[in-house]
Homo-oligomer: A and B are copies of this chain.
Amino acid sequence: MSAARLGYLGPPGTFGEEAAIKADPRAEHVPFPSHAAIAAAVEAGAVEQGVLAIENSLNGSVAETLDILIHDSTLDIQREVVVHVVHNLIARPGTRIEDVSVIYSHPHAFNQCRRFLAERLPNARLEASLSTSAAVEAAVAGDLGAAGIGTSRAAELYGGAIVAAAIHDADNNATRFVVLGRGKQLPTGHDRTSIAFTFTQDRPGSLAGVLDQFARRGISCSKIESRPTKAVFGEYVFLVDFVGHQDDEAGRDALAAIRPLCAEVKVFGSYPRAE
């Protein structure tokens, strides 16, 4: 089913747009300035779905998205999409790598391309940008010798040429996105379910007791994370992804068994596993 409108973290030409195209190529892709703005637009019905980054294989969880799911959202996770992060060195067509004297990008992209930059462009000046897309736009519009680090889609959008492709250090750099919308998805037989829960007081064994309810039903937990709540490093919300659907027999039983053990349980959604 194609959503009429699908919100993503803009601007166009970033990995957010790549995730939106992968999630639903035929939808109208609408850029928003923050993850919170995407979720608010879905809540208000301004768009039918929104795609939010939730986890990067190198950088870990995206805290903003977790906090939206925990505290603000009444939406369901309906899908997940994995985008492999590929950084490219992009410049005005005709630029050679030996011409490059200044490089624009988001500080994260510089961190992820450190080895390439040290080996191939040790003397180039690094200038920060607010997004990889803005970096490519500035580089293509700039002087000869300016380059930006960004996606091939950004090169396309701004008329840039790829001077060096796939310049990121680590091959296992991927970002997992979730698609938020209204309504539960039906079980497919290869689903994942994301939940959050809290305890009234921090007692040794509380968490082990909850995980045991999944274990005794043969359910694997594919991810677990504690996240500080309001207080600074004080109380925690626990986030768990488990293999299966909330409406499978095992999943439904496990959720019923943990509710009496927790202060609160929130199910973010059950959705087909991407890989």
Contact = CB atoms under 8 A, between A and B. Distances in A.
A212 B223 contact: no
A71 interface: no
- Chain A's interface: helix, strand, loop or mixed, by majority? mixed
Interface in A233-275: 233, 236, 238, 275
A58 interface: yes
Contacts of A238: 224
Given A63-B59, A126-B130, A130-B128, A221 B233 contact: no
Interface in A14-42: 34
A46 interface: no
B205 A224 contact: no
Interface size range of chain A in the complex: 35 or more
Nearest to A56: B63
Contacts of A107: 106-107, 128, 130
A57 interface: yes
A225 B225 contact: yes
A111 B62 CA distance: 13
A61 interface: yes
A212 B208 contact: yes
Given A126-B130, A208-B208, A202 B174 contact: no
Contacts of A68: none
11 contacts: A60-B227, A106-B107, A106-B128, A110-B130, A128-B130, A172-B230, A172-B231, A176-B233, A205-B215, A208-B215, A223-B236
Given A34-B114, A58-B67, A126-B130, 5 more contacts: A82-B233, A204-B217, A208-B215, A224-B226, A232-B275
